Amino acid sequence: MDTKALQIEDTLARTDLEDRDSSVNSHYEANEHVLASDLHINEKKLMRKIDWRVLPILCGFYLLQAIDKGNIGLAKLGGIQQATHTQGSLFNWAVAIFYLGYVLAELPCNLILQRVNPRYWLAFATLAVCRFFLGVFEAGILPASVLITALWYKRSEHATKTGIWFSFSSLGSAVGGIMSYGIQGNLANAGGREGWQWLMIIEGAATIAWAIFAFLVYPNVPEKARFLNEDERTFVLNRQRLDHTQNTLKFDMAQFWEAVKDYKTWVLFCIYFIWQAVNIAFSTFSPSIIVGLGFSNLNAQLLSAPFNLFNLFLQIVLSVISDRLKDRSALLITCGLLSTVGYISIVAIHNNNHLLYGLLFFTSFNSGSLTLILGWMTNIIIGNTKRTVSSSIIIIGSSLGAFAGSQVYQDSDAPRYIRGHTTNLCLMAIGIILVLILRLLLMKENRRRDKIAREQVEAGLTKEVEVIKDVTTLVNQNFTDKSDMRVRYYL
């Protein structure tokens, strides 16, 4: 094994949070710059190269899966309920069955991802067309995307990169609304088919085409990526290691049980459950909510698009700010409060439909901050098997939340849907409290680790950091956030 000691002391022992963050950044950047110099790598150029190979495919998947997943809400306005005889709560169950499939397949999909290259799973998942089986196979898309992001990028980049590909889900919802307006408005009864049927056919065909394209062009994992040379692969793998981010895809049973027993997993499970329940409740039924404000069915499809474009804007901006501040929870709490203000206003105000339509935009702070939860998850849960299992559990929470959220708005509550809005309001209040609790617990743990690190420095127990050039050694590093006391949790 070829190694080169960098002779840089580990200066993580600072009790003051701001000073500690500064020392961590300096420590990491010094190692990274020496690594780049030793391997003759231009880091910015290399990461742009990786961005253009990794992110566009993920963006395409999220654009199309959002269109496919959300078109049932738009098809409702085009007559799918009457054609399928799913009036009242039956339609809610038709929406919810997708998430049942998602829940059932989530953990198996994540365990498969420990054995199968995520590149192959992404392409296969998009070929499902039946709503239940779409949920079953789509269960692999989110965890595979999270895993790919964690394999290629350091923790301080996770929120931004996640925000980029996840925001295309909002773009997909916006595009879906516009496509629905055009397709259902112009192709109704064309070729003997209803407008909503053409909606499903056209959008499904686009998804299949993208799946084939992605399978052919998507890059492999870093240590096998053919578009990188040997030095570039070595740099990426060491870059991840120095950031305390694991590279291996091997399954580790000890990490499996550590994930199950970690309180962070279950608090994030509850937070994601709540955030997604509110998101799905509103986003799926927003066309019907807009109709309740006095707009026509066709115009409601068009008027639902601005919410999704605003979500896209929020997801990218909040993710970038979060990475700059290295803080997820403060922004989550802020967005939760703004969303709560929106629901309070909607419930309280009467007889001003245009104002109510404007106030609906406050609800976007809920869906616009979903990427912060994913970024927070990858930052505070480290170890590949541990992260995979924890993300499975947390995403199951999201799916159960979506399942519950699909029942929040009922046709019997039209046109104002007060009960649904009030339910979302109460859920957001609980979610904010849970985020605050997790933040305080992580602050306490960071202070404990600072104290231990300070004592080690005072005792002269500093450590050297090595650059490892042997790829086999790099991909077999085995540690978690619990075992590596140098890890500090992002708040």
Distance CA 198, CA 149 (A): 35
Cα–Cα distances in angstroms (integers) from residue 129 to residues 68, 138, 320, 371, in the given order: 9, 10, 34, 26
pLDDT of res. 465: 52
Q: If you ran DSSP here, which 8-state letter would residue 327 be given?
A: -
**Confidence category of residue 253, pLDDT binned at 50, 70, 90:** confident
- DSSP string of 360-390, one letter each residue: GGGGHHHHTTHHHHHHHHHHH--SHHHHHHH
Element (H, E) at 4: strand 3-5
pLDDT of res. 88: 63
| Mean of pLDDT values over 123-141 | 53
Q: Which pair of structure tokens corresponds to residue 75?
A: 């098809």
pLDDT of res. 19: 42
Please determine, for residue 183, whether its predicted confidence score (pLDDT) is greater than 70: yes
pLDDT digits (tens, 9 = 90+) for 262-320: 999 999 999 999 999 998 888 777 777 787 777 777 777 677 778 777 888 888 888 88
| Mean of pLDDT values over 154-164 | 81
Whether 184 and 74 have beta carbons less than 8 Å apart is answered as: yes
Which of the residue ranges 3-17, 45-59, 80-94, 130-144 would you say has the lowest mean pLDDT? Answer: 3-17
**Is there a domain that residue 483 lies in?**
no
**Is there a domain that residue 262 lies in?**
yes
Tokens 């299992």 correspond to 389
**Is there a domain that residue 481 lies in?**
no
Count the Cβ atoms, other than its own, within 10 Å of residue 27: 18
Rounded to two decimals, what is the model's pTM?
0.71
Q: If you ran DSSP here, which 8-state letter would residue 490 be given?
A: -
CA dihedral (69, 71, 75, 77) positive or negative: positive
Which one is predicted more confidently, 182 or 256? 256
Helix axes 253-261, 384-405, angle to 10 degrees: 40
**Is there a domain that residue 136 lies in?**
yes
**Confidence category of residue 416, pLDDT binned at 50, 70, 90:** confident
Q: If you ran DSSP here, which 8-state letter would residue 143 be given?
A: H
Whether 166 and 308 have beta carbons less than 8 Å apart is answered as: no
Q: Which of 390, 387, 489, 478 is nearest to 448 (CA)?
A: 489
Distance CA 248, CA 26 (A): 26
Distance CA 136, CA 117 (A): 18
pLDDT of res. 1: 40
| Mean of pLDDT values over 132-151 | 71
* Those residues with Cβ within 8 angstroms of residue 8's Cβ, 6 or more apart along the chain or in another chain: 27, 30, 31, 34, 464, 465
Please determine, for residue 80, whether its predicted confidence score (pLDDT) is greater than 90: no
**Is there a domain that residue 147 lies in?**
yes
Domains contained in the chain, number: 1
Whether 161 and 250 have beta carbons less than 8 Å apart is answered as: no
Q: If you ran DSSP here, which 8-state letter would residue 67 be given?
A: H
pLDDT of res. 388: 80
Q: How far is CA 183 from the centre of its chain?
A: 30
Q: Which of 113, 143, 122 is nearest to 213 (CA)?
A: 122
Cα–Cα distances in angstroms (integers) from residue 150 to residues 222, 320, 384, 411, 417, in the given order: 11, 17, 9, 42, 40
**Is there a domain that residue 485 lies in?**
no
CATH number of domain containing 90:
1.20.1250.20
Please determine, for residue 74, whether its predicted confidence score (pLDDT) is greater than 80: no
* Those residues with Cβ within 8 angstroms of residue 61's Cβ, 6 or more apart along the chain or in another chain: 122, 126, 141, 145, 165, 210, 214
Q: Which pair of structure tokens corresponds to residue 479?
A: 């540690």
**Is there a domain that residue 488 lies in?**
no
Tokens 């078109």 correspond to 71
Which one is predicted more confidently, 108 or 165? 165
In which domain, by residue range, is 406 found?
3-474
**Is there a domain that residue 104 lies in?**
yes
Please determine, for residue 99, whether its predicted confidence score (pLDDT) is greater than 90: no
